[in-house]
């Protein structure tokens, strides 16, 4: 996997590249945007100037055209020719001049004698000298339309048209029309840009800026290469000039436009384009950062997942090993338990043999006694047969049968007692098991002068256990009671069965022996604990008995007996209570 450091470094480089690109492209865009808007603005400026120029040219030439034709028309009119005939009627001429000037709106209309003196004019005070209009009258005298821009004595700027009045080919006078430009300038004043007319000498003749009028243009503006700067009031503005020649008048009409908006336009264009690129650059930068964070996060997640996977693998291996060792341990335990069970079984067997050893003298007496009695009965029977006392013989044979049955029962008990016990747990009835144990232990008790009391109840529930193992428990308890009572020659043992409220069955063995001292009470169930003399006991009876009872789900407890000795209670589960518990 690529290291985090490498990823970060590549992204740093990418971010740097984005920054550089943003600045370079931003600068180019700012320049281009500025240029573009400037060109747009310039085009608009040009269009506006051209429109202004066209309109104002039209306005100017329209006015001049209107008055241009007036002198030739008047010069050919008979009434006007008549004015110059003879001495000339000055009053009539004056009237005519006023009429024409009034109708045409000209500044003045004058009828001049061939030498230039005024015959009559609409405005007597029109301050213009013969000298001033020499060029005008010369052209007129030559038969051309005289044209001349004039500045009157009182400073009015007018344009004069003049045409010679002839009788035949003889010049008899001039008709002159003077045009005022106030109306033209009034229309120009609507334009925000300076509009002006320069005459042949470079003087501003007409302008919508009053302060420019009759000033040399060079004093108002300076041209430095392409750049033109002009003065308006106190400020000097950058401008561009658009002009048109008015050849008829030998004038030039100019429109100056303020170029400052071009600078603002290029500034706005540059700023907008630059900002747009800057924004795109910032977006790109953010995108690169976001992508870097995403890749790093994915990388972190992946390595975390790998770590987790490794951890799981390790844990799984450890668990497998633990499992293996556990199952090995379980096997070993099972084998050990198997060995233990075998040892226990052998111990149980040993316990039984020990009990049998203890009882053997009494048991052999138990067999010998009926055998001797059978012998006696059979001898008697022979004699009684000889005396033909058949009834007595039958009686003897019956006793013999009874004794044989008793011996057979005892032998059966012995046989089953000495047999290896099974391992199964099944429902058994306790009373016959106690009967069997008593059959084996009673001879010994009798021999010691001990009375065993046993009254089996009728309706006791079956318990869970094994017949031979339970009879071994009772044999052991009764033998211990006999041992405890000892050889004092008399004694009492009470074996009883009872059932508690929960359905558990208690088998009690009470004796009137010395009982178990408090200090030994906790030890009696421990293996190899004995208070008996060497050869009399090895201390495994109670431990085996309690093991057997525990296997059946019961327990043995030691109490003090009402008879004065010890009381051992064997608690066993009844079949019913066990079934209920299972349910």
160 versus 481: smaller Cβ distance to ligand ADP: 481
User: Can residue 538 be called a binding residue for ligand ADP (CB under 6 A)?
Assistant: yes
Considering only 106, 221, 566, 570, the residue that binds ligand ADP (CB under 6 A) is 566
Considering only 539, 553, 555, 576, the residue that binds ligand ADP (CB under 6 A) is 539
Considering only 26, 34, 164, 541, the residue that binds ligand ADP (CB under 6 A) is 541
Task: Specify whether the CB–CB gap between 494 and 450 falls below 8 A.
Answer: no
Going from the C-alpha of 94 to that of each of 81, 101, 124, 159, 365, the distances in angstroms are 14, 10, 9, 21, 200
Going from the C-alpha of 174 to that of each of 116, 322, 374, the distances in angstroms are 8, 140, 206
- Nearest distance from residue 551's CB to ligand ADP, in Å? 17
**What stretch of H or E contains 14?**
helix 4-68
Question: Which two tokens mark 124?
Answer: 């007597």
Q: How many chain residues are in contact with ligand ADP, going by CB under 6 A?
A: 21
Binding mask 73-102 for ligand ADP (x = CB under 6 A): ------------------------------
63 versus 524: smaller Cβ distance to ligand ADP: 524
Q: DSSP per residue over 124-162, as a string? A: TT----TTTTHHHHHHHHTTS-EEEEEE-TTS-EEEEEE
- Assign 3-class secondary structure to 520-578: HHCCCCCCCCCCCCCCCCCCCHHHHHHHHHHHCCCEEEEEECCCCCEEEEEEECEHHHH
Neighbours of 249 (CB within 10 A): 20
Considering only 260, 310, 365, 532, the residue that binds ligand ADP (CB under 6 A) is 532
400 versus 481: smaller Cβ distance to ligand ADP: 481
- Nearest distance from residue 566's CB to ligand ADP, in Å? 4
- Nearest distance from residue 561's CB to ligand ADP, in Å? 8
Q: For ligand ADP, which residue has the nearest CB?
A: 537
User: Can residue 565 be called a binding residue for ligand ADP (CB under 6 A)?
Assistant: yes
- Nearest distance from residue 539's CB to ligand ADP, in Å? 4
User: Can residue 445 be called a binding residue for ligand ADP (CB under 6 A)?
Assistant: no
- Nearest distance from residue 394's CB to ligand ADP, in Å? 45
44 versus 496: smaller Cβ distance to ligand ADP: 496
Alpha-carbon distance of 172 to 164, in angstroms, equals 8
80 versus 545: smaller Cβ distance to ligand ADP: 545
Alpha-carbon distance of 226 to 231, in angstroms, equals 17
383 versus 532: smaller Cβ distance to ligand ADP: 532
**What stretch of H or E contains 428?**
strand 426-428
Task: Specify whether the CB–CB gap between 36 and 272 falls below 8 A.
Answer: no
Neighbours of 468 (CB within 10 A): 19
84 versus 525: smaller Cβ distance to ligand ADP: 525
78 versus 519: smaller Cβ distance to ligand ADP: 519
Alpha-carbon distance of 303 to 301, in angstroms, equals 6
**What stretch of H or E contains 183?**
helix 182-188
Alpha-carbon distance of 422 to 428, in angstroms, equals 13
Place of tokens 């211990």: 480
User: Can residue 443 be called a binding residue for ligand ADP (CB under 6 A)?
Assistant: no
User: Can residue 530 be called a binding residue for ligand ADP (CB under 6 A)?
Assistant: yes
Stretch that binds ligand ADP, among 105-113, 120-128, 215-223, 523-531 (CB under 6 A): 523-531
370 versus 537: smaller Cβ distance to ligand ADP: 537
82 versus 538: smaller Cβ distance to ligand ADP: 538
381 versus 441: smaller Cβ distance to ligand ADP: 441
Considering only 356, 531, 555, 560, the residue that binds ligand ADP (CB under 6 A) is 531
- Nearest distance from residue 440's CB to ligand ADP, in Å? 15
- Nearest distance from residue 525's CB to ligand ADP, in Å? 8
Task: Specify whether the CB–CB gap between 26 and 274 falls below 8 A.
Answer: yes
Secondary structure of residue 344 in the 3-state scheme:
helix
- Nearest distance from residue 495's CB to ligand ADP, in Å? 12
Bridge partners for 452 per DSSP: 493
Q: Within 13 Å, how many C-alpha atoms sit on residue 495's CB side? A: 29
476 versus 573: smaller Cβ distance to ligand ADP: 476
User: Can residue 71 be called a binding residue for ligand ADP (CB under 6 A)?
Assistant: no
53 versus 540: smaller Cβ distance to ligand ADP: 540
Task: Specify whether the CB–CB gap between 471 and 526 falls below 8 A.
Answer: no
- Nearest distance from residue 558's CB to ligand ADP, in Å? 8
- Nearest distance from residue 515's CB to ligand ADP, in Å? 6
Residues from 453 through 512 that contact ligand ADP (CB under 6 A): 476, 480-481, 484, 511
User: Can residue 537 be called a binding residue for ligand ADP (CB under 6 A)?
Assistant: yes
Q: Within 13 Å, how many C-alpha atoms sit on residue 247's CB side? A: 0
269 versus 513: smaller Cβ distance to ligand ADP: 513
Neighbours of 391 (CB within 10 A): 9
Q: DSSP per residue over 24-90, as a string? A: HHHHHHHHHHHHHHHHHHHHHHHHHHHHHHHHHHHHHHHHHHHHHTHHHHHHT-HHHHHHHSTT--H
Q: DSSP per residue over 258-300, as a string? A: E-HHHHHHHHHHHHHHHHHHHHHHHHHHHHHHHHHHHHHHHHH
- Nearest distance from residue 493's CB to ligand ADP, in Å? 9
- Nearest distance from residue 406's CB to ligand ADP, in Å? 28
Output helix, strand, coil percentages for the chain, rounded to the nearest 5. Answer: 55, 20, 25
Stretch that binds ligand ADP, among 83-91, 281-289, 405-413, 513-521 (CB under 6 A): 513-521
- Nearest distance from residue 467's CB to ligand ADP, in Å? 21
Residues from 371 through 410 that contact ligand ADP (CB under 6 A): none
Question: Which two tokens mark 524?
Answer: 């009696």
The footprint of ligand ADP (CB under 6 A) covers 476, 480-481, 484, 511, 513, 515-516, 524, 529-532, 537-542, 565-566
């Amino acid at each position: 996997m690529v290291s985090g450091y490498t990823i970060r470094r590549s992204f740093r480089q990418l971010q740097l590249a984005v920054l550089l690109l943003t600045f370079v492209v931003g600068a180019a865009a700012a320049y281009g945007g500025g240029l573009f808007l400037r060109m747009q603005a310039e085009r608009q400026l040009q269009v506006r100037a051209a429109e202004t120029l066209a309109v104002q040219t039209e306005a100017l030439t329209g006015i001049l055209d209107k008055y241009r034709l007036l002198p030739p028309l008047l010069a050919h009119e008979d009434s006007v020719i008549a004015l110059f005939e003879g001495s000339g009627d000055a009053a009539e001429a004056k009237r005519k001049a006023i009429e024409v000037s009034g109708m045409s709106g000209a500044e003045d209309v004058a009828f001049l004698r061939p030498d230039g003196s005024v015959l009559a004019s609409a405005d007597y005070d029109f301050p213009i000298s013969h000298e001033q209009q020499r060029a005008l009258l010369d052209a007129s005298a030559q038969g051309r339309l005289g044209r001349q821009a004039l500045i009157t004595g009182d400073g009015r700027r007018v344009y004069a048209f003049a045409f010679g009045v002839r009788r035949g080919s003889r010049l008899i006078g001039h008709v002159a029309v003077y045009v005022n430009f106030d109306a033209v300038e009034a229309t120009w004043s609507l334009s925000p840009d300076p509009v002006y007319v320069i005459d042949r000498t470079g003087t501003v003749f007409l302008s919508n800026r009053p302060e420019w009028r009759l000033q040399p243009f060079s004093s108002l503006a300076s041209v430095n290469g392409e750049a033109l700067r002009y003065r308006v009031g106190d400020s000097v503005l950058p401008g561009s000039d658009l002009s048109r020649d008015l050849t008829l008048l030998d004038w030039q009409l100019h429109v100056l436009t303020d170029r400052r908006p071009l600078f603002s336009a290029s500034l706005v264009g540059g700023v907008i384009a630059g900002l747009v690129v800057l924004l795109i650059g910032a977006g790109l930068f953010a995108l690169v950062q976001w992508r870097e964070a995403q890749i790093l996060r994915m990388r972190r997640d992946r390595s975390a997942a790998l770590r987790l996977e490794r951890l799981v693998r390790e844990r799984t291996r450890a668990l497998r090993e633990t499992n293996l060792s556990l199952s090995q341990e379980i096997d070993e335990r099972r084998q050990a338990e198997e060995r233990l069970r075998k040892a226990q079984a052998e111990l149980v067997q040993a316990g039984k043999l020990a009990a049998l050893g203890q009882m053997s003298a009494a048991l052999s007496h138990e067999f010998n006694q009926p055998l001797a009695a059978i012998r006696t009965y059979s001898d008697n029977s022979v004699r009684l047969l000889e005396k033909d006392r058949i009834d007595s013989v039958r009686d003897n044979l019956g006793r013999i049968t009874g004794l044989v049955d008793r011996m057979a029962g005892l032998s059966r008990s012995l046989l089953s007692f000495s047999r290896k016990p099974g391992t199964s747990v099944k429902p058994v009835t306790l009373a016959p098991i106690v009967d069997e144990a008593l059959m084996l232990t009673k001879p010994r008790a009798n021999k010691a002068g001990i009375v065993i009391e046993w009254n089996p109840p009728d309706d006791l529930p079956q318990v869970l256990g094994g017949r031979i193992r339970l009879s071994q428990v009772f044999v052991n308890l009764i033998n211990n009671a006999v041992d405890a009572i000892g050889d004092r020659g008399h004694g009492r043992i009470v074996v009883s069965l009872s059932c508690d409220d929960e359905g558990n069955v208690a088998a009690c063995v009470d004796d009137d022996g010395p009982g178990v001292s408090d200090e030994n009470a906790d030890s009696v169930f421990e293996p190899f604990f004995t208070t008996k003399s060497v050869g009399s006991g090895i201390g495994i009876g109670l431990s085996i008995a309690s093991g057997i009872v525990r296997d059946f789900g019961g327990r043995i407890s030691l109490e003090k007996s009402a008879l004065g000795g010890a009381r051992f209670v064997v608690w066993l589960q009844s079949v019913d209570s066990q079934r209920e518990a299972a349910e």
